[in-house]
Amino acid sequence: MFFLGPEEGHYALAFACVLALAQFILPLWGAARGIRLLLDMASRLAFAQFIALSYAFVSLIACAVGDDFSVQNVAANSAISKPLLYKITGVWGNHEGSVLLWALILSLCGGAVALLGRGLPLILKARVLAILGGVSTGFQLFCLLTSNPFARIWPAPADGQGMNPLLQDPGLAFHPPVLYTGYVGFAVPFAFAVAALIEGRVDAAWGRWVRPWAVAAWCFLTCGIAMGSWWSYYVLGWGGYWFWDPVENASLIPWLTGTALVHSAIVVEKRDALRIWTVLLAIASFSFSLSGTFLVRSGILNSVHAFANDPARGVFILGLLAIVIGGSLALFAWRAPGLSAGGLFAPVSREGGLVLNNILLCALCAVVVTGTMYPPFMQILTGRTLSVGKPFFDATTIPLALPLLAAMGLGTLLPWKRGHLLPALRRLRIAGVIAAIALIGGSFLLEGILPVLCAAAALWVIAASVVDLASKLGLRGGLHVLRQRLPRLPRAVWGSTLAHIGIGVTVLGITGMSQAQHNVVEIGLGETIHQGALDWTLLSVRQEAGPNYRALIADLSVSKHGRVVATLHPSRRDFESQHQVTTDVAIRTNLMRDLYAALGESHGQGSSARYVLRLHNNPLAPWIWLGGVVMALGGALSLSDRRHRFGAPRKPSQAVAGEGS
């Protein structure tokens, strides 16, 4: 494909970088001098940059699909025998390609603002696009100067080195784009925040414009984190779903500040309060997204998901971060004190509840940041090395999460400005009864005090959300009230209810997982392991040949009280060309519990052979990810609300509020 070769791609990338630089400078100049022509160019430059970058990305895919091993990136990560799907997805399975994907999504965000932000005031829109262009310029320079995906090698090898077989998995293939969209999506609220600081004005209209972008990014990030957690559950074969690994934490931190942002933006929109705080949250969410990437790629934090680390790249990204984060925070320190404070409210009110939500989420975020960054900082300061792991995070996050859940149930029932706790609590008495039953029942059924509290808190959130929805629908008033209210209830209400229920479902799943039974055993053919009420029997073990691996497959039957409930076939794949063995976990779920088996190694021959097996009975495990999906659906539903629909016509009064400056 001569017109999609590596040189064309390289050129398109450089061209996109120039366009991004123009997108950064010209609109800002135009906004400062009031030159209409330059303001109008912002959108066109954003579209052009997106097209140029798409061309570069498609070129790289063409190189990978066409097995052009003179391109170093393709030679190092692909091979002729690789299935077509993984040739394509392998493009972003490595450092260089993933940076290009990151830049592509960033330019997509710019294009989306240009396209969907028709209702925005011209100057604000130009400034937002300029900031996005500036960040794009930095990332494309990073790509061009330190991680060029189009670099050539000579002589070109006859075949590539292949890809890590662990990454040959459909779940992982689509995980990075979703996660990156979440990370990069927060660039839009960031750009809105910086633009507002330049303008020196934040108002309710600003809150209404920024919120859908924050919600969209939050939805993608939620999905991305859930997919990553699910991948480590069923591919790595360790039987866990979250390891407090630095890479996982790097995705959780912006999720926490992003969740706070989504909520505090409501207060800006409805009550015109918490403006400065919301601006700071918008800056922080994107800053954490960026620094997480930096810390992982530079090798300061090491992890199982390691990319090739390179301190030289680290220096470049650190410089980029200093400009983006340092610049925006310096602007914040300069302009924010001049912003007027917003409306007042009593501590017990909807605003008060949202402030509490923000405080707890930020405290959680601070805890995760501390736990993640403490080891390298202690090492550089004192020379002592240590590691912070699951015990620390369990002990610190759960005590913060419990009051957050408790407040979540109550918050949505409080009225704006000034409320009273007692009437709200009275309306929640059914939810209270359910939580109390869970507390009592749980203390008999569950091991440990924290799981009991978590289960009760999760049921409290779910019940309170349902009660709240029911009262908004006027279920007490009978069918005719319902018929009146049902079509009028905004989708945002449905969305927030669903998202809150999703959190409850995830917490229930996590609670269930804490009660998992697991054994690592070494057994021979025909032997049976008793695990609670379950009996696991190893029936047979067979060999099978795959396209580029040999598989050893075990047949396990699981029975309960003598009745077979499932047969599982965990296997181990030996990729000889890469000297790597992967485990293929067998999971049988009925949505209330997962039976999970992983095959370890074997030794001995024939009938005396013995096999290491990891056997789990994980109650409620699927709910962890189901809850994530429900949360993201809730966000999507609230995005589709009329008020937030991007193209929705503005009321005249709001149009006036948005004009000027």
Partner 1 sequence: MTGLTRRRALMTLPIAGAGLAGFGCWKMLSAMQDGSFDPRAIRLDKNERPIPDFVLPGIPGLGDGFDTSMLRQATQPVLINFFASWCIPCVAEMAALRVISQRIALWGIAYKDKPDDARRFVSRDGSPYRRTALDQSGMTAIDWGVSGVPESFLVLPGGQIAWHGTAALDETQFEQHVLPIAAGTR
Interface ranges with partner 1 (CB under 8 A): 236-238, 276, 280, 283-284, 287, 291, 294-295, 298-302, 304, 306, 311-312, 314-315, 318, 321-322, 325-326, 329-330, 332-333, 336-337, 373, 375-377, 379-380, 384-387, 389, 391, 519-522, 572, 579, 581, 583, 598, 600-601, 603, 610, 612, 614
DSSP structure class, residue 385: -
At closest approach, how far in Å is the CB of 204 from partner 1?
Answer: 21
Q: Provide CB contacts within 8 A for 340, sequence distance 6+.
A: none
For residue 409, give both structure tokens.
């149930």
In 3D space, the residue among 56, 64, 74, 69 whose CA is nearest the CA of residue 17 turns out to be 56
Type of residue numbered 127? R
Residue 339 to residue 566: CA distance in whole angstroms = 63
For residue 127, give both structure tokens.
């400034």
CA distances from 185 to 189, 262, 377 (A): 8, 13, 29
Nearer to partner 1, 45 or 295 (CB): 295
Q: Provide CB contacts within 8 A for 485, sequence distance 6+.
A: 472, 473, 474
Residue 388 to residue 585: CA distance in whole angstroms = 28
Q: How far is CA 527 from the centre of its chain?
A: 43
For residue 290, give both structure tokens.
């960026």
Residue 645 to residue 636: CA distance in whole angstroms = 11
Nearer to partner 1, 172 or 223 (CB): 172
Nearer to partner 1, 159 or 601 (CB): 601
Nearer to partner 1, 50 or 277 (CB): 277
At closest approach, how far in Å is the CB of 329 from partner 1?
Answer: 4
Q: What are phi and psi of 370, to 5 degrees?
A: -60, -50
Nearer to partner 1, 94 or 298 (CB): 298
At closest approach, how far in Å is the CB of 604 from partner 1?
Answer: 8
Nearer to partner 1, 500 or 616 (CB): 616
Is the C-alpha dihedral spanning 71, 72, 78, 79 positive or negative? Answer: positive
At closest approach, how far in Å is the CB of 471 from partner 1?
Answer: 39
At closest approach, how far in Å is the CB of 530 from partner 1?
Answer: 16
At closest approach, how far in Å is the CB of 305 from partner 1?
Answer: 11
Type of residue numbered 249? N
Nearer to partner 1, 520 or 564 (CB): 520
DSSP structure class, residue 326: I
CA distances from 163 to 62, 70, 73, 77, 237 (A): 17, 17, 11, 5, 19
At closest approach, how far in Å is the CB of 416 from partner 1?
Answer: 25
In 3D space, the residue among 322, 340, 343 whose CA is nearest the CA of residue 279 turns out to be 340
At closest approach, how far in Å is the CB of 184 from partner 1?
Answer: 20
Nearer to partner 1, 457 or 599 (CB): 599
At closest approach, how far in Å is the CB of 399 from partner 1?
Answer: 20
Nearer to partner 1, 351 or 584 (CB): 584
Type of residue numbered 124? L
At closest approach, how far in Å is the CB of 469 from partner 1?
Answer: 37
Q: Provide CB contacts within 8 A for 425, sequence distance 6+.
A: 410, 432
For residue 278, give both structure tokens.
């919301």
The strands making up 593-603's β-sheet, listed across from edge to edge, are 517-524, 610-619, 593-603, 586-589
Nearer to partner 1, 283 or 505 (CB): 283
Nearer to partner 1, 56 or 324 (CB): 324
At 534, is the secondary structure helix, strand, or coil?
strand
At closest approach, how far in Å is the CB of 228 from partner 1?
Answer: 17
DSSP letter string, 298-354: HTSS--TTPPPP-HHHHHHHHHHHIIIIIHHHHHHHHHGGGSPP-----SSSHHHHH
